[in-house]
Structure 1
Amino acid sequence: MNTSKKYIPLLLGLAIAAGVFIGGKLNFTDTSDRLFTTNSKKDKLNRLIDYIDLEYVDDVNTDSIVDVTVNGILDNLDPHSTYISKDQLQQVSENMSGKFVGIGISFYTYKDTVAVIRTIEGGPSERAGILPGDRIIMANNDTIFGREWKNEDIIAKLKGDKNSRVNLKVYRKQTDEFLDFNLKRDDVPIKSIDAAYMLTPSLGYIKVNRFAESTYIEFKEALSRLQKLGATQLALDLRDNFGGFLGVAEKMADEFLEEGKLILFTKNKSGNTDHVYATKRGSFEKGDVFVIINESSASASEVIAGALQDNDKGTIVGRRSYGKGLVQREMALGDGSAVRLTVSRYYTPTGRSIQRPYTNGDNQSYYHDYYKRLSTGELSNQQTIDLPDSLKFTTPKGKVVYGGGGIIPDVFVPLQNTYNNETLNYISRRGYVSNFVFEALDEDRFTYNDILEGDFIDHFIVSDTLVQSFENYINQIERTQFNFAVYHSQMKDMIKAEMARQLYGDDAYYQITGQTDNMINEVIFLSSGNSN
């Protein structure tokens, strides 16, 4: 679908620019006086801002001019050096800390009212007894329904300082009653682990969506639980994972590598290198590992894939990764904003740089690389990738690997039926599936109260009538007529998976989507001792 194509590079670019970084903390040995001594270049910018502030004929918001100036400077550097405004920094920091302060609900505005899709596990709303389907109509005696209330206004009303309280009035449709809840705002976890379950009696599966401060602890807990269930093999799914903190990726790679194995090394502007080696603390050094990647696996995801591939540990499955081998450090700018500046490059154990080519100041071409891969046929045929001998490296066991633009998998899995995927992805990104399922469940939630999660996953069948209702729902919103004939079975799967998510949680969702996932099925095939 043409409508969807324009979203892919935009979303990818925004996510990479705002959320992909391999970070540390500012740790210069120079004093601030030495770092920021006055010079003519800085004087020039300062003087221009002063002239505009004091002499320009109209009132001008010089803060916005400074923001434009900073962005303009960074636009002439590499694509991953980015500016984070004061308004954006809190949200970015929360996302990478793995938690935020709030009441812990996922909601959408249904007929001008805040409707709870589900409560977040471990959050205040779950502990208080708020249920999916509840409508929040008042917060601290203020009504929060009606067309004038936007999502950001609702979020601002429900979030607040830690340990502060908010009084909610809730309408529960299931029992036709109004309820009062007094909640104490608290830390709400932002999960890095989307799912962790057993694919086969010996093969565990963990899907990681980011590398935040809390990710390693979450990963260790998930891995330990799967090992207790009998996992001697692991599928580590890093698809669409744009990265995060370097230290977290190093710790996770250490779980699979024997003591003394090189994980990566970095090189800065001065040519100084820093090598990171595995320790003896790894808990999965003897197990078989399958790392699943795609064209949106970037940064810290590539650190893990590259470390394991170069050490002849496990099997990389999927499609060539994004290709980000630059290291950023976040630096405060003194007014609540910050800049993430590229300070070094990282290299895999064999010495590969997997950073794909870029031209300073030409970020648009860089972020439209997806189109290039699509047009060359790479997403359906790995043989179309240009692999010059100058980028060839060899692992200790003699396997040939390549640098110069991402991690090339050991086992390639093509993108199936691109047109269908883009159409279905568009429908999903717009929130149509989630909203439709909420309304469908809301008609009679008691129907599902006695269905166990396992029974739902294994035996529940989405009716053709429900699929037809979904198609009518989309056509009414889009004011057009999609031809859904070729998508009928996929839509059944999408609806069932989303129903499982809203009824039971993310694990159930991924267990259903995994049944028709080509990459997961390939890993199951490989784990059984087969090979292509």
Structure 2
Amino acid sequence: MKGRVRTVTTVGAAFAAGIILGPMVTSPMVKAWAQDGGRAETYRLLNLFGDVFERVRAEYVEPINDRDAVENAINGMLTGLDPHSSYLNQRSYRDMQVQTRGEFGGLGIEVTQENGYIKVISPIDETPAARAGVKAGDLITHLNGNSVQGLTLQEAVEQMRGERGTAIKITIRREGADRPIELSLTREVIRPQVVRFRIEGNDVAYVRLTSFNEQTDVGLRRAIQTMRGQAGNSLKGIVLDLRNNPGGLLDQAVQVSDDFLEQGEIVSTRARRQEDAQRWNAKGGDIAGGLPVVVLINGGSASASEIVAGALQDHRRAIVLGTKSFGKGSVQTVMPIPGQGAIRLTTARYYTPSGRSIQGTGIEPDIEVLAQRQEATATIPREREADLRRALRNEGGVQQPTGASIPPLQLPAGLAEKVTRLPPEGTPAFDATKPETDFQLQQAMQLLRNLAAVQSPGRRASAR
């Protein structure tokens, strides 16, 4: 697609957009196809589409919106290909750009909808909303004096977003307050926190990546630098938490993998045409300074998350711990259509350094550790890529979970056996605010500490 359109590649029919629909009028592209004897059937099918469209316009029980009908038809064509191709109208395309950029003008609150009102899930630290005293659980009832009743969540969010420096008045209802609270806020540039980090027990650096947008790699580097500065030589290792990370930008997955690798392939993609195949290699420089790394994954780790886990696993730079990942091994390219939004089209499959396609299979952890005892006896397993309708086939790569080019995981004798794979009876229920209840995290940290205890002085600390 290079050189033809400006694209964004994510690890997430164009011709119809140029048609003036109707039985008697066709676009230049369709006329060209009509002159090509090999495309005669395509031309007839396009005329069929135009005929059906005109009949719907004329005979449907209520008047239809032409744009909605055409966009629905385009989206139907794309979603009929696979679960990840789709049409993005102008608003959806704008929203996608905001998400991938990782910053927008707004107030700094995470919201949902409840009983017609906008409910605050959480204010983001150091934002206008947090400084004004907005609290979790507050109900936003009015924006600039107008009720939010009747607005969709998306419409309300769009009203709260805006140019940096512009003002908005919000009215909130708070439990226990005698009267509504009115606040005047000035919008600022908001950067959602996609990288969260902390030092656990004074000796383990914990980093959680919630998605892969334009801020992910910068945030990761800053987090590692901060924690190494705080803990100094006391750090025994790093936990990179990719659980429930749905993915995002391919280039960010490549950069995050490169952060921990000195050399070698990170990922490759193979498209319909052989000449469109691409390969990314590490440039060198390990931000972890050789500290051992454990990557946490689960059934919600998809796409870009799987690229990172697969690359670090294949190079034996990290121990992958948790449960099997989602299994989305396809690449989507977002192709803008001038003035009309964009299409998100599956254009390639990706392959890990050892040649594995994880499409539909997922990344198998080196050490399986369940988050809860119930997972061992669950009768309805978590939905994965292979369960989706029209999911792409797994083809063109090494089929075994561990390819021939992956060196076997070698840990000092007895270390793997010290990892508890199943939470014991009576283990406290998971609470996101209490790390001690996160069983998989606790096992990862203990593994790093055990590994550090048997490392010889001066030896490169890794999972090799």
Fold match by TM threshold 0.5:
yes
When residues 60 and 173 of structure 1 are mapped into structure 2, their CA distance, relative to the original with a 3 A threshold, is closer
Q: CA deviation at 1:140?
A: 2.5
Q: CA deviation at 1:281?
A: 3.6
Deviations 1:281-338 (A, max 9, x none): 4311511000011122111111111111111112010111111221111012344332
The whole-number CA distance in structure 1 between the counterparts of 2:420 and 2:65 is 51
1:234 aligns with 2:238: yes
The secondary structure found in structure 2 opposite 1:255 is helix
Where does 1:302-451 land on structure 2 (aligned, <5 Å)? 302-356=306-360, 391=400, 393-395=403-405, 397-398=407-408
1:189 aligns with 2:183: no
1:208 aligns with 2:209: yes
The secondary structure found in structure 1 opposite 2:251 is helix
Count how many residue pairs are aligned between Structure 1 and Structure 2: 384
The whole-number CA distance in structure 1 between the counterparts of 2:154 and 2:273 is 45
Where does 1:104-143 land on structure 2 (aligned, <5 Å)? 104-107=108-111, 116-131=120-135, 136=140, 138-143=142-147
The whole-number CA distance in structure 2 between the counterparts of 1:71 and 1:516 is 43
Q: CA deviation at 1:251?
A: 0.8
Partner of 1:466: none
Partner of 1:63: 67
The whole-number CA distance in structure 2 between the counterparts of 1:141 and 1:338 is 35
When residues 34 and 301 of structure 1 are mapped into structure 2, their CA distance, relative to the original with a 3 A threshold, is farther
Partner of 1:158: 160
The whole-number CA distance in structure 2 between the counterparts of 1:410 and 1:81 is 43
Deviations 1:67-120 (A, max 9, x none): 332233224423332332334323333222212332222356788766655421
The whole-number CA distance in structure 1 between the counterparts of 2:438 and 2:80 is 40
1:39 aligns with 2:33: yes
Deviations 1:415-463 (A, max 9, x none): 769xx9xxxxxxxxxxxxxxxxxxxxxxxxxxxxxxxxxxxxxxxxxxx
When residues 167 and 205 of structure 1 are mapped into structure 2, their CA distance, relative to the original with a 3 A threshold, is same
Deviations 1:162-187 (A, max 9, x none): 43221345677788687654322232
Q: CA deviation at 1:142?
A: 3.3
When residues 244 and 414 of structure 1 are mapped into structure 2, their CA distance, relative to the original with a 3 A threshold, is farther
Q: TM-score, normalised by structure 1?
A: 0.61
The whole-number CA distance in structure 2 between the counterparts of 1:308 and 1:410 is 22
The whole-number CA distance in structure 2 between the counterparts of 1:96 and 1:186 is 18
Which of 148-157 and 91-100 deviates more?
148-157
The whole-number CA distance in structure 2 between the counterparts of 1:53 and 1:411 is 69
Partner of 1:294: 298
Contact 1:122 1:189 in 2 (8 A): no
Partner of 1:261: 264
Contact 1:325 1:347 in 2 (8 A): yes
Point out where structure 2 has 5 or more consecutive residues left out of the alignment.
1-8, 13-26, 35-41, 363-374, 384-396, 411-415, 455-464
The sequence identity of aligned pairs, in percent, is 26
CA RMSD of aligned residues (A): 4.2
Select which of 433, 443, 447 maps to 1:526. 447
Point out where structure 1 has 5 or more consecutive residues left out of the alignment.
1-19, 24-32, 359-370, 380-387, 401-408, 421-485, 498-508
Contact 2:30 2:43 in 1 (8 A): no
The whole-number CA distance in structure 2 between the counterparts of 1:179 and 1:128 is 11
Contact 1:203 1:235 in 2 (8 A): yes
When residues 415 and 43 of structure 1 are mapped into structure 2, their CA distance, relative to the original with a 3 A threshold, is farther
2:404 is matched by which residue type in structure 1? T
1:250 aligns with 2:250: no
Contact 2:314 2:407 in 1 (8 A): no
2:403 is matched by which residue type in structure 1? F
The whole-number CA distance in structure 2 between the counterparts of 1:521 and 1:82 is 40
More helix by share: 1
Q: CA deviation at 1:64?
A: 2.9
Deviations 1:204-246 (A, max 9, x none): 1111111011111111121112212323411111111111111
Select which of 411, 430, 436 maps to 1:515. 436
The whole-number CA distance in structure 2 between the counterparts of 1:118 and 1:86 is 28
Partner of 2:11: 22
Contact 2:238 2:291 in 1 (8 A): yes
Q: CA deviation at 1:134?
A: 5.9
Which of 100-109 and 285-294 deviates more?
100-109
